[in-house]
Structure 1
Amino acid sequence: MTLATTRKAMRLRCVIGMFALAGAGAGYAAPALAQDGAEPEGLETITVTARKQTENLQSTPISITAFSAERLEAQGITQVNRIQDFTPNLTFANIPSNSGIASNAAVYIRGIGQNDFAPTVEPGVGIYIDGVYLGRTAGGVFDLIDVASIEVLRGPQGTLFGRNTIGGAINLTTLQPDDTLRAKMDMKYGTDDLVNVRAMVSGPLADGLFAKVSAGISRQDGYVDAPNLGVKFGNKDTKTVRGALRFAPGGSPLEVTLAGDYTRDKSNGAPVVVTGIDETATGSFVTLANVIGSGTGNPGDCLTAAAASNTACYNSRLYSRDTNYATDPTFSDLELWSAALTVSYQLADEIEVKSITALRRINGTFAQDRDGSNLGINYVYDTFTQKQFSQEFQIVGKALDGRLNWVTGLYFFKEKGKDINPIDFLVVYANSGGYYDYKNWAAFAQLGFEITDGLTLTGGIRYTDDRKSYLPDQYVISTLEPFLSIPTGTRIVPYEWVDANVKKWTPMANLSWQATPDLMAYVTYSQGFKGGGYTQRVFPPEESLPSFRPETVDSYEAGFKLMALGNRLRFNGAAFYTDYNDMQLLVADASRVGPFITNAGKARIQGFELETNIAPGGGFRLNAAVGMTDAKFKRLEDGVQGLTLDSKFVMVSKWTVSASAEKEFLMDAAGTLTPHLDWSYRSGFYTNANGINTPELYQPGYSVFNANLRWQDEGQHLSLTLGVDNIGNRKFRTFGDYQPSFGFYMQAFDRGRQYYAKLGYSF
């Protein structure tokens, strides 16, 4: 047995042991009593809306991780991507993609996702806020202001959620105003002058009319020095405001909610640095820059120790983990707003009709000196806009004394916009990008019938008509002679609309068995798909715009959900097997400048998730989770470069493990004191934004420990929290990029250890 195999076996035994110990501790220890002598404390009941209706988590036959507002608060989560630390088989990263955008959600569930923000490719995991789909990943890493719950749905959600949920969905629900007057405010200060202020007030305006207003400001200094620009990359400057007006007169079957939000997210730029060059990439732009800079025509002269300080050379003078020597403007500026009108009507005792109408708009400009030098090897600039409109109609009902339940509906989605992307690549200055206009129609239905007591068969199907039109606006502005000579104005690809249309049926079948009131088991087969599209970044010129086909998955899942020990133990698990066909992958090779998307081939993904929550009493709370994603290529398309059947999926860890513990101490009139400790582990993964396994961009497995101490007054109105994140100061890789045509490695690393104090008040 090899050392690596031994370590993997030991790690698996530790994980299994952790769950066994958690279960044994709850099973054999005497139940702790609450300090007032009442019955033993139990776990909270979690309700979810994963199937377009409100259900108990434990009776919903889907693999879900759910966070309540209280759990998010206890674990110190104030930004949505932090849920990846406590959700098995989830990657929720903030990466600059190939543009320098500072807020871009790269989300993967069970190995399926996407990390590029470009409008010519779709995300593989859908993000929804109050039932509204966010069509673009730009701005997808946001602060949590008034979130009531977050649900992570694993596996394809192709029936009720539809397109671009091939890997799963993240469903956020915000707090809805009602007749209870409530307010909340907290102020957080921490490392690098972190200032995070949030406030919310909600309550009645008149009989049957309720309102909510919330706002937040988040600022923090950067941690990657850019001395030539006089700034630090990785800073934060975000402002958000939300509002909702709800009309729900007592006794009326009608309920109307009008909601809106506005966010401005500005940054000096993503915290990337240059860490090295590939000396074997002899045809790269870095090599050409060193041919010019050496003065002798020999690029090797730039790589000697004597040339280390030569500013005409691209070499080790630029390598760093905390400094970027960029000279061209680098920044990220996003403005987002949305509005949604939700109308529900109780048509009968067991039938509800709902309409969700939504608008959303994104305006952004971002630029990045990607080579991090004075040599102008790779500079990109984006002007990005998106306008989306969506309309969904739902009918949710029950019949036959609750034995029959159904959801059916119609969906329409439209988006249009542009991503105009000038590029400066040493020998060529060109305009890239283009304009897009997409439409999506769908009809869906899901029917569940309780065949016999506890045994329910559910079937669902969705028909989708997905149509995309794209106009590339790409032409040469100038070239550097004698190295390259292309006439000004030459079209890189034809200036003509291209279409990528697909019509698709996505079925689902589920059989669940409520064996006892506390134990449920299920099996599911489901399909998902993601539409095809086009490569936006093209050079050298081609006769037509490169395209790629839709990708599809067939997923098989079996799971169980258990409540035990008088609602003090929750233990849920699922195992899955997925056939992944026509996998869309962002790749790069030396024959093209810039990354492109292709159908890489076929893969299979298998694994499992286990999650447990324990409340043994006495104010104790224990949580643990483990996920395993084993992804393997089964077939590669001809012409796919840089990949083999042994290549690993990028941004995806095989193992994700987490655990947390907290204990509430009652101090009578002095209030409560709750220490909290959590740990998360991710096994090694490749960080390259493109699908190639670049050894220099490999992040070995790592652990992160966080802790906080929270005090609340006796009335639970005033609170003070002191905490530290990343206690071990692990500055792990969060992003990497290497493209053979450029020849340098760029990476981003975590900020490291952070301290904070948070003062809050609510009623």
Structure 2
Amino acid sequence: MRLKSSAAGSGQSARRIVKTVRSAALYSGCSALTLAMLCDLSVAYAAPEDTAPKKKIMKPHRASARLEEVTVTARRRSERIERTPISMTTVTGSQFTERGITSIAKIQNLSPNITFGNVASNSGVANAAAVFIRGIGQTDFSFGVDPGVAMYVDGVYVGSPVGSVLNMVDIGSVSVLRGPQGTLFGRNTIGGAVAVNSLTPNEKLSAKADVKYGTANRINARMFFNVPLAQHLFANFSVGNFMQDGYVNAPYQKDQRKLGSEDSRVFKGALRWNPIPKLNITLRGDWNRDRSNGAPFVTTGINPSSTGSMIALANHLAGGTYTNCTGPNCYNSRYFSKNTNYGSQPDFSNLVGWSTSATIDYEFSHYLDVKSITAYRKNLGKFAQDRDGSPIGVNYVYDHYQERQFSEEVQANGRALNNRLHYSAGVYYFDQSGFDINPTQFYIMSLLSGGYFTDRSYAAYAQATYSITKKFNITAGVRYTEDNKSFLPNQYYKSTIGAPIFYQVPGTRLVPYERYHNNNARWTPMVNLSYQVTPELMAYTTFSQGFKGGGFTQRLANIAPFAPSFKPESVNSFEGGLKFYGLDHRLRVSAAGFFTFYDDVQLLVADESHIGPYYTNAGKAQISGFELESQYALGDGWNLLGSLGMTDAHYTKLSASVQGLNLNTMFVLVSKWTANLGASKEINLGQYGTLTPRVDAAYRSRYNANLNAIMYQSLIQPKYITVNMSMRWVSANGKYNFMAGLDNATNEKFMSWGSYSGSFGNYQKSFDRGRQWYIQGGVSF
């Protein structure tokens, strides 16, 4: 069904949208209820494969330029995105290609109120996603804590952030779903979800490949092909190789290898069998390997007030004071830098992972469809980091990491009552296990930390949408989740420096060698109303709950009677929004406001009373804000798009046991304001093809870069703007393309993450590489 509009109707719609967008920007709490009977957030809870937009790309005539029709199946039925009542951003694989983007982390420059970082956390891993949506997320990959934002790849929940900063190979789309998810997702998530969808094998023989070369010997090579093997059997295969030299000098490392390098390979394949018209069976598999010289971090200074730290002790033993030590064994300003790491012990990050899945989709009738998604995934890694960034030997960490997961989800989707009722229900099982063993060296001791983990989750969910009238819909959903975690710590002292400084008998355990359990269960409901105000304008509102299970602190250095644990966290979220698509299909606008009550906030903190970071339930918080996104086809080849997001997150109550935090402490990696603006112009060269210059700018206001939650002025990243520019040529037959571009043209070397622990006293930071140029050529048929 297509929208029909006249010139007069478009003019009236334009006046209406100005008013409604202004109202949405001022929205707070549930005030949007007064605007209209608002909508069905059920789309937010769709399985990620279903959230993949199925775009039909049209080549409109210049005189009547229109935006692409965007169809999504987020509520497990096909709907246009402007009729889908949720705050979400969807970017197709071709849109990433048009911008020269090859990493999923860049989605943060195309969507409001999201941070997608690649952080080393409290280890040396060089590929670990830290994703925040609307102020909720996580910076640590530890088994002991669940991600605040879930990532799904082809409908499969990815249980560990390790290896989740994906390189683009055969990506069909990436969707960012904001707010709690649950009543249509396999795994309950509290902050939102990032759903990655690969290309599905089809009946058309096709292939494409491209090679990119750029700054610091950057070489990205990708190849994809799709082959019909038989009348009802189709396959595709893709491979990618991504390499680039590092950019942080490391004079004491082997062969003086620079940190921050990239060396990864990806292989993916899929097979789809359609033996009868109502049955589709899709098998997928992938293998990836990531090797890096180490995370690109440096030491920029010490905290003079941290007089009880390991660095203070090292300087005292070297014959000086914490802030005034000049001897050869002193830790001082000679090791402070923004581009050089003076660590002498090996920094590296080696990861290998593979996964496989089977999706069986059977249409029992026109009114009922059943789907099964079975998946297995495994990751293995070894990574290490000289965390003091000097040859003094204050702190060196090593991780021997292994994780495996199995999941099974069964979904039933149908409709009844003359299509007035649409319903979905499902059951979900998740089984994750593994270990993270951490041999760790401190200035006065060495120990073994870490341990063995299991995580089993069971869930059942159901959701139904009923059309009261043709314009007014009501949706209700509920989910039951049971999480059962266990932790077997294997932690003991290996050696200590001896009296009178510190002494423990080698082999003394930090916590008893026994299995600890943390089990939680919760019901989480959702209620949603939507109203189609006009054919061009829809309004919606939603109340939803979400929760994230409790867990354990993995890394210990002090003796304790038992493994420290923490409780679940939960949110009550209110959202209201508007969606508009009009002006003769040339303008698409979506606006949403939200208010979230955040309880038992799980935070990673570090202070002088603990050696190493630990997790705790810090207290309560409130988060409010809005998102505004727009696309506008001006005509004559011109296209504009942009977004604006505001997240006002603050603590309202803090536990008395938490040190270093106050009610004014900024949330980690969360900017109050995010925005992006892009403009492109397609120039028709006739028989010589098309040429498209493009400029994209992204803005982020200041944020707290300290991964350990405590706020220090030197770890506050000021506001910044990055600008990307490119020129892309495509031949008239579409077979050949060439591109030249400049990323971060303003050379903003912003702090992507920082870290401080009072136990050691030094500030660690990781800065962006800065300006990068590239050229890229490709072919397709």
Q: Same fold (TM over 0.5)?
A: yes
Deviates more, 1:510-519 or 1:427-436: 510-519
Instruction: Name the counterpart of 1:485.
Output: 503
In structure 1, C-alpha distance between the alignment counterparts of 2:62 and 2:164, rounded to whole Å:
44
- 2:552 is matched with 534
- Displacement of 1:597: 0.4
- C-alpha deviation, 1:301, in angstroms: 4.0
**Paired position in structure 2 for 1:708:** 726
- The CA deviation at 1:72 is 1.3
Partner amino acid, structure 2, of 1:142: L
Match of 2:586 in 1: 568
Q: RCO higher in 1 or 2 (8 Å CA, sep ≥ 6)?
A: 2
2:439 corresponds to 1:422: yes
> Within 2, Cα distance between the matches of 1:129 and 1:524?
26
Whether contact under 8 Å (2:524, 2:545) holds in the other structure is: yes
Alignment-mate amino acid for residue 204 of structure 1: P
Cα distance between partner residues in 2 of 1:599 and 1:751 = 35
Q: Match of 1:608, as an amino acid?
A: F
Q: Does residue 353 of structure 2 align to residue 292 of structure 1?
A: no
Q: Residues 456 and 484 of structure 2 are in contact (CA less than 8 Å); yes or no, is this contact kept in structure 1?
A: yes
- Alignment pair present for 1:407 and 2:424: yes
CA RMSD of aligned residues (A): 1.6
Q: Which residue of 2 aligns with 1:269?
A: 294
Q: Which residue of 2 aligns with 1:30?
A: none
Deviation at 1:57, TM superposition (A): 1.2
Deviation per CA, 1:435-480: give whole Å up to 9, x if none: 0111111111010000111100000111111101110110000001
- Which residue of the partner structure matches residue 31 of structure 2? none
Matched residue, 1:476: 493
Deviation of 1:300 (Å): 4.6
Conserved 8 A contact 2:307-2:322: no
Check whether the contact 1:163–1:528 (CA below 8 A) recurs between aligned residues. no
**1:231 maps to which residue?**
257
Q: Deviations over 1:270-301 (max 9, x none)?
A: 0000000112111000000101122xx64454
Alignment counterpart, residue 472 of structure 2, candidates 455, 459, 462: 455
Match of 1:256 among 261, 268, 281: 281
- Look up the SS of the partner of 1:692 in the other structure: coil
User: Could you tell me how far 1:164 is from its partner in structure 2?
Assistant: 5.0
Deviations 1:394-442 (A, max 9, x none): 0111222321101101100001000001110111100000001111111
- Residue 348 of structure 1 corresponds to which residue in structure 2? 365
Which deviates more from structure 2 when the two are superposed, residues 530-539 or residues 108-117? 530-539
SS in 2 for 1:225: coil
Gaps of 5+ in 1: 1-15, 21-33
Residue 85 (1) aligns with residue 102 (2): no
Separation of aligned partners in 1, 2:187 and 2:277 = 35
AA of the residue aligned to 1:322: N
Aligned counterpart for 2:329 among listed residues 305, 312, 316: 312
Alignment check: 8 A CA contact 2:62 2:637 kept: no
Cα deviation, residue 48, structure 1? 2.7
Is residue 158–residue 526 contact of structure 1 (8 Å, CA) maintained in 2?
A: no
2:69 aligns to what SS in structure 1?
coil
Q: d(CA) in 1 for partners of 2:294 and 2:73?
A: 37
**Cα distance in 2 between the residues matched to 1:311 and 1:553:** 53
**Distance in 2 (alpha carbons) for counterparts of 1:716 and 1:708:** 18
Deviation, structure 1 residue 49: 3.7
Shift of 1:36: 9.5
Determine the C-alpha separation between the residues in 2 that align with 1:52 and 1:750: 39
TM-score (norm 1): 0.94
- Once the two structures are superposed, the pairs formed by residues 30-69 of structure 1 within 5 Å of their partners are 39-69=63-93
Where 1:226 maps in the other structure, the secondary structure is: coil
Q: 1:174-193 alignment to 2 at 5 Å?
A: 174-193=198-217
Does 2:539 match 1:525? no
Alignment of 1:598-609 (within 5 A): 598-609=616-627
Normalising by structure 2, we get a TM-score of 0.91
In the aligned structure 1, how far is the partner of 2:745 from the partner of 2:146?
36
The residue type equivalent to 2:513 in the other structure is Y
For 2:348, the aligned partner's letter is F
Bigger shift: residues 48-57 or 534-543: 48-57
CA–CA separation in structure 2 for the residues paired with 1:298 and 1:594 = 23
Per-residue displacement from partner, 1:207-236 (whole Å, max 9, x unpaired)? 100000000000000000101111100000
Q: 1:278 aligns with which of 300, 303, 323?
A: 303
Asked whether 1:213 is paired with 2:230, we answer no
2:610 counterpart of 1:592: yes
CA contact (8 A) 1:48 1:151 kept: no
8 Å contact from structure 1 (residues 612, 625) kept in 2: yes
How far the C-alpha of 1:55 sits from its partner, in A, is: 2.8
- SS of corresponding position for 2:283: strand
What is the CA–CA distance in structure 2 between the aligned matches of 1:644 and 1:301, rounded to whole Å? 31
- Tell me the alpha carbon deviations over residues 51-70 of structure 1, each in whole angstroms, 9 at most, x when there is no partner: 34443211111110010122
Q: Which residue of 2 aligns with 1:5?
A: none
Aligned to 1:240: 266
Task: Identify the residue that residue 641 of structure 2 maps to in structure 1.
Answer: 623
Which runs of 5 or more structure 2 residues have no equivalent in the other structure?
A: 1-17, 23-57
Does 2:459 align with 1:435? no
Equivalent in 371, 374, 393 of residue 357 of structure 1: 374
**Letter aligned with residue 239 of structure 1:** R
Shift of 1:77: 1.8
State the secondary structure of the residue aligned to 2:318: helix
TM alignment of 1:23-172, pairs within 5 A: 39-161=63-185, 163=187, 165-172=189-196
CA distance in 1, matches of 2:754, 2:224: 38
Q: Distance in 2 between matches of 1:630 and 1:337?
A: 39
Q: Secondary structure at the match of 1:165?
A: coil
8 Å CA contact retained: 1:158, 1:529: no
CA shift at 1:112, angstroms? 0.2
- 1:125-156 C-alpha deviation (Å, 9 max, x unpaired): 00001100000000110101001111100000
- Inter-partner Cα distance in structure 2 for 1:466 and 1:205: 43
| Separation of aligned partners in 2, 1:54 and 1:383 | 45
Partner of 2:345: 328
C-alpha distance in structure 2 between counterparts of 1:590 and 1:299, whole Å: 15
Deviates more, 1:70-79 or 1:590-599: 70-79
Q: Tell me if structure 1 keeps the 8 A contact 2:449–2:557.
A: no
Q: CA deviation at 1:646?
A: 1.2
1:24 is matched with: none
Q: Bigger shift: 372-381 or 53-62?
A: 53-62
Q: Is the 8 A contact 2:60 2:66 kept in 1?
A: no
**In structure 1, how many angstroms separate the alpha carbons of the residues matched to 2:472 and 2:379?**
46
2:756 matched to 1:738?
yes
Work out whether 1:654 is the aligned partner of 2:672.
yes
Displacement of 1:47: 2.5
Change (3 A) 1:313 1:613: same
Does residue 724 (structure 1) correspond to residue 748 (structure 2)? The answer is: no
TM-aligned CA distance change 1:36 to 1:76, over 3 Å:
closer
Question: C-alpha deviations, 1:608-627, integer Å up to 9, x for none?
Answer: 00000011221111001000
Q: Could you say what secondary structure the match of 1:674 adopts?
A: strand
Q: Which amino acid aligns with 1:669?
A: Q
